[in-house]
Chains A and B, each alone.
Chain A
């Protein structure tokens, strides 16, 4: 079964952790994830600028490790990311900003990538809110 997983909440929201655990369980169950798409506040999960206290769950780091190890397609909506100050080197240069917080394996792209994933997958699962 092919899953598209979309995340709409910031890294500190319980739903973001739930998304990661669902994604891990899906792969462990022998399923495929065609794309992870990060929209709205979900873009913060891709931020390399978050500093988590040592004794707390570092979700952005876990996402990064998960995407790297499983060689997944992690796409961050570019418009949502720009609006929230989450930029990769290319966008920081384009808009003349000092701060770069998104880098590989994350990719910035448009909402077309969400639709593309929906077309490709058997199921779309969204996580967000609380």
Chain B
């Protein structure tokens, strides 16, 4: 069984990313959208945490473009059709509202 976790809050001053990373299973994936893509700001603590975790990581294209963030090669940029497919590839989607 695998879960696609979706985060949309900024990782700075918010528990969601840390809680999510603690609960992430080995078959799970993480999609960053909205302000959650700020986690990939190089040099930040969330960046290091994600890099060390070696998880299956996806980011939503429009949010990356809007924020002018450079995406490391260990993350995959996806559009909406790919978001839909990603939600089908996993057994369930857990959005951290």
**Chain A interface residues (CB < 8 Å from chain B):** 1, 3, 8-9, 14-15, 18, 21-22, 24-26, 28-29, 31, 122-130
Contacts and interface: CB of A to CB of B under 8 A. Distances in A.
Nearest to A15: B8
Contacts of A128: 95, 97
Contact of A125 (B60, B87, B96): B87
B28 interface: no
A3 B33 CA distance: 20
Contacts, number: 56
A124 B92 contact: yes
B93 A123 contact: yes
A50 to B, nearest CB: 21
Contact size class for B? 20 to 34
A124 B88 CA distance: 10
Contact of B80 (A14, A21, A124, A129): A21
Contacts of B96: 129
B68 to A, nearest CB: 16
A123 B8 contact: no
A106 B83 CA distance: 26
Given A14-B34, A22-B84, A125-B95, 8 more contacts: A8-B97, A122-B88, A123-B87, A123-B93, A126-B97, A129-B9, A129-B95, A130-B8
Contacts of A130: 8-10, 34-36
Contacts of B9: 129-130
